[in-house]
Amino acid sequence: MTSLSTTAPTAGHPGWFARSENWLDEKGKGAWIAAMVLGFIFCWPVGLALLLYMIWSKRMFSKSQRTSNGMGRHAMHTMKSTGNSAFDAYKADTLRRLEEEQNNFESFLERLRDAKDKAEFDQFMDDRDGSSEKGDTST
């Protein structure tokens, strides 16, 4: 009797799936599409699986190409030093301020969504209570 043991890849050594995903991300959206087309040509379930994965992971409709660490190529370019320390300090301060504003805006949107969800739920509960009261009086 043999037993199969599956070991999870360690943090320093990603698995073959993560490595191939990172490699395709580095090559861009065209590499994902080419892999999907080749998957359909050679073994249609593989192509279908890649298509579903691309849609599920939002790779199919993303506007920017992502690198393995998740930052777009444009973001990588903005982090390079220009050699002028005053400008680099100004740029770092501006980027920090913009990130802070983005975080504040995202938290504001989250609060708006929560308030909308609560209002919709309260309306549902009021409608449900109103309809159950009508049903009770007619019986």
Q: What is the pLDDT of residues 88-102, one digit of tens each?
A: 899 999 999 999 999
Which residue range is the domain that position 48 belongs to? 16-67
Largest CA distance in the chain: 82
CA distance 101 to 107: 10
Domain boundary among 32, 67, 102: 67
Looking at the fold, whether 54 and 102 belong to one and the same domain comes out as no
- Identify whether residues 88 and 126 lie together within a single domain: yes
Number of domains composing the chain? 2
Percent of the chain at pLDDT > 90 equals: 29
**Does a structural domain hold residue 52?**
yes
Domain presence at residue 76? no
Dump pLDDT digits (tens) for 47-100.
Answer: 888 888 888 877 666 655 444 455 555 565 666 788 889 998 999 999 999 999
Residue 136 sits in the same domain as residue 88: yes
Report yes or no: 24 and 60 within 8 Å, Cβ to Cβ.
Answer: no
Do 23 and 63 share a domain, yes or no? yes
Residue 109 lies in a domain: yes
3 inside domain: no
Question: Which region among 30-34, 36-40, 58-62, 116-120 has the lowest average model confidence (pLDDT)?
Answer: 58-62
- The DSSP-derived string for the chain is -------PPPTTS--HHHHHHHHHHHH-HHHHHHHHHHHHHH-HHHHHHHHHHHHHTT-SS-SS-B-TTS-BHHHHHHTS--S-HHHHHHHHHHHHHHHHHHHHHHHHHHHHHHHHHHHHHHHHHHHHHHHHHHHHHH-
Residue 129: per-residue pLDDT? 85
